[in-house]
Amino acid sequence: MNPKYLLTAIVIFIMPKFIMAQTAQKPYSIFSPVPKEKLREMETDRPDVTESAITVDAGHFQYESDLFALERERPESSSQKTVTINRANLKM
């Protein structure tokens, strides 16, 4: 193999992977949580009120609940009441 092509192959295929491996950040997980100084601001997501795709930082938990909720619906012909106790969201 021509040394010129070998050197080109090394530069194109191997060097970018080596550089990325050197600068890659350690992935966070439940056992390796995001440090306190890098945490995002907490976003509330009340159960069955504001369902959203907001996530919680790795290794942290967020628990939100309605201990007691009373919902009333009044269509034209009848009314309906719904009572819920401890409706909750747990994110991790």
* pLDDT tens for each residue of 22-71: 555 678 888 888 888 988 888 777 666 666 777 888 889 888 888 888 88
| Whether the predicted model's global pTM rises above the 0.75 cut | no
Coil vs helix vs strand at 7: helix
**CA dist., res. 66 & res. 50, Å (int):** 13
Amino acid at 88: A
Is residue 89 within 8 A of residue 45, CB to CB? The reply is yes
Rg (CA), the chain: 26
Is residue 86 within 8 A of residue 66, CB to CB? The reply is yes
Is residue 87 within 8 A of residue 65, CB to CB? The reply is yes
